[in-house]
Homo-oligomer: A and B are copies of this chain.
Amino acid sequence: MTEGEIMKKIYFTVGPSQVYPTLHKHMGKAIKEEICSLNHRSQQFKNLYKETADGLKKLLNVPENFQIFFVSSATESMERVIQSCCQDTSFHIVAGAFGKAWSNYASQVGKNAVTHIFENTPDVNLDNLTVPKAAEIICITQNETSTGCSIPIEEIINLKKKNPEKLVAIDIVSSAPYIDINFKYIDIAFFSVQKGFGLPAGLAVIIAGPKALEKTEKMIKKGIKVGSYHSFRSLSEKAKDYQTPLTPNVLNIYLLNSVVKDMLKLSANKIRKDTEKKAQMIYGYFKTSTRYFPFIKNPLFCSPTTPVLDVLGDSEQIRKKLSKKGFIIGAGYGTNRENHIRIANFPAHTIKNVSTLLKHIRYII
């Protein structure tokens, strides 16, 4: 690289992260098509909503009778799910900061949020877990971005099988579109678009099944407050006509639609295989490292999409050295800021990107 040249950075941060390779092309097209001026009550917007919802359903294997809602963030999704699908008691399986946050929001909106925290051992399975009888909904951070703990979908399905009368809501913020969900056993899933989809932040998707919507209607019948403009009823009524209750982030929906199309061309299968290959490369390296190691011990619970590595206080110097090479990786979350590094493994990250990153890490360590 000659002096004056700008080094191209690769963002391995866990979100916002590396943008999807076609993003800038789609942004250019959005500008040309005047998407920022598009009336959200127009037929053109309805077509865009329908196309995006259909594309997402195809990519993520979502059944026809589920609805796709657009809201502004995964955080908002957590609140709206609780408001619309929980009358009194929610149950939260917590393996890190984002699961804890969800439980806190439930308390803050007035629910009895029962929480099971996997303190320092997030890598246990859910077989021995007793779900409180009163719980109406089981809230699971399927991929916990703060610790890199990923709960296998089979574990969640087993839990649902044992508790068929309870709703199951999963946060797939940093595992979509990799995570392969059997929606027969999942009532609600949500994610934001600045992680696995490589888009600008400011949009989230809630996938809501018929049982979730039935619950909202039951609560309304009883006179329970289910929220206002973004209640599941309000979202659902508008979604039936491919509309939103308010002016949504139209530009981001357009970009999501474009990236989902690109992903469908590539195929969900190919994305999954590549993600697993890259995850093996990352974990493979750290498992043989004599100094550093994956934070989550049980390989079954090691997140393929957001690996977290324990680097024993060396986080800052590793990040600084990699940054000089153009590789931006994540610090640890919260109090683990200096103990951990977090490396996103999203569809925007190529096998070559990961291989070069690991080469640099090997050199640095």
B23 touches A11 (CB 8 A): no
Contact indicator per residue, chain A 144-162, by CB within 8 Å of chain B (1) or not (0): 0000000000000000000
B75 touches A201 (CB 8 A): no
Residues of B near A17 (CB, < 8 A) are: 37
Residues of B near A252 (CB, < 8 A) are: 202
A36 touches B19 (CB 8 A): yes
Report the count of interface residues on A (CB-CB < 8 A).
52
Kindly report which residue of chain B lies nearest to residue A18, judged by CB atoms: B37
A219 to chain B, nearest CB (A): 13
A27 lies within 8 A of chain B by Cβ? yes
Residues of B near A273 (CB, < 8 A) are: none
Residues of B near A228 (CB, < 8 A) are: 79, 104-105, 108-109
Which chain A residues (71-120) contact chain B, with CB distance < 8 Å?
Answer: 72-76, 79, 101, 104-105, 108-110
Copies of chain A in the complex: 2
A21 lies within 8 A of chain B by Cβ? no
Contact indicator per residue, chain A 321-350, by CB within 8 Å of chain B (1) or not (0): 000000010000000000000000000000
Which chain A residues (36-68) contact chain B, with CB distance < 8 Å?
Answer: 36-40
- Report how far A37 CA is from B11 CA in the complex, Å: 7
- Beyond known contacts A9-B37, A104-B228: 12 more, CB 8 A cutoff: A9-B34, A11-B37, A13-B39, A16-B250, A17-B37, A19-B34, A23-B36, A27-B31, A72-B72, A72-B202, A75-B229, A202-B248
A–B complex contacts, Cβ < 8 Å, 17 sampled: A9-B34, A11-B34, A16-B38, A16-B40, A19-B37, A23-B36, A36-B199, A40-B201, A75-B246, A79-B229, A101-B229, A105-B229, A109-B227, A109-B228, A201-B251, A202-B203, A202-B251
A170 to chain B, nearest CB (A): 19
- Report how far A54 CA is from B361 CA in the complex, Å: 40
B31 touches A16 (CB 8 A): no
Provide the main secondary structure of the chain A interface: loop
Kindly report which residue of chain B lies nearest to residue A229, judged by CB atoms: B75
Residues of B near A40 (CB, < 8 A) are: 16, 201
The listed residue (B105, B200, B225) touching A109 by CB distance below 8 A is B225
The winner among A11, A24, A202 for most chain B CB atoms within 10 A is A202
Residues of B near A200 (CB, < 8 A) are: 35-36, 249-251
Residues of B near A110 (CB, < 8 A) are: 225
A275 to chain B, nearest CB (A): 19
A305 lies within 8 A of chain B by Cβ? no
